[in-house]
Every structure is written in C-alpha cells, then in structure tokens.
Amino acid sequence: MLFIVLVVILFVICIYLWVQVSKLNDKVKEQGRIIDELCRRTGNEGMIDVPEGYSLDWYEGCYISEPLRERLRALKSEGKYDEAVRVFARETCLPERYAGDYLRLL
C-alpha cells in the first residue's frame, strides 16, 4: 500500500514539474519575441538571431535577393505587414502563408 502511495506522489510531482517547465519555455519564447521586436524598432535587425540551419537567402526553394529583403524589412518596420506579405508573394511566386513565416525570420 505504501508503495502505491509513493508511486502516485512521484507521478503527481512529475506532472507538476512538466507543467512548470512548459510554462517556463513559453515565457522564454515570448521574451525572445519581445527582444526581436525591440531590435526591429530600434533599428538593430542585425542583432536578431536567425535559427540555426536557416538562411535568409533561400526560403522554400526560392532565392530571396538582398534588395527584396531590404524592401520587406522596410515595409515591416513601417508597419505595412500586409503589403510586405503581398510583395513577398508576388516576387517569389510562393503562397502568402509562407510570407508570414519568412517575415518573422527577418
């Protein structure tokens, strides 16, 4: 009987710790988004980390030129996110849903 009680207590502790770690991971992701946004607003886009294994030159098999990236960054910093999505989709011939993912990397 004591063994069953200990197993249940251990199980509850494990679930509690898992929930706490999940909450902390969510907070870290949110802080990363806030830092990225602050870098963009202060003009320090170069400080934003691109996830390892990603390149801003290529996205979904399409080459993204430097002038296009600069134009997208400018539109995004001006708050014209929808216009940036349309420009990306028109220039790359990719669907607009890919534009949102790419613009988050910029």
Write out pLDDT tens, residues 50-103: 556 556 677 766 778 888 889 998 998 898 988 999 998 888 888 888 888 888
> Is-above-0.85 flag for pTM?
no
Q: Which residues pair with 63 in a beta bridge?
A: 58
Domain boundaries, the chain: 1-49, 50-106
Which spans in the chain are helix H? 2-41, 66-77, 81-92, 96-105
